[in-house]
Amino acid sequence: MKTSEIREMSIEDINKKIVEIKNELFELRMKQATGNLEKPHMINKLRKDVARLKTVLTEKMNDGSEN
């Protein structure tokens, strides 16, 4: 997910996306624990996506904008 795409989202959409990605990340970690994980690189990708989302969310909260 690109930062420019995230900046176009509203605060509510960003929060929903964070929850969605965290659930997906949990499922991947469970698959990793059982040894059924086919794409281990997805864990790092999702972690970075959550960080990007949280960074943009913090920026929006500090600006006070409701885009």
More confident residue, 65 or 34: 34
Where do the domains of the chain lie? 3-63
Options 2.160.10.10, 3.40.50.720, 1.10.287.310, 3.20.20.70; CATH for 3-63 is 1.10.287.310
Please report the DSSP string for 18-64 in residue order.
Answer: HHHHHHHHHHHHHHHHHT--S-THHHHHHHHHHHHHHHHHHHHHHHT
User: DSSP assignment, residue 9?
Assistant: S
Determine how many CB atoms are found less than 10 A away from the CB of residue 44. 9
pTM for the complete prediction?
0.86
Predicted pLDDT of residue 65: 53
7 in Cβ contact with 56 (< 8 Å): yes
Predicted pLDDT of residue 1: 82
Average pLDDT score, the chain: 93
Predicted pLDDT of residue 60: 93
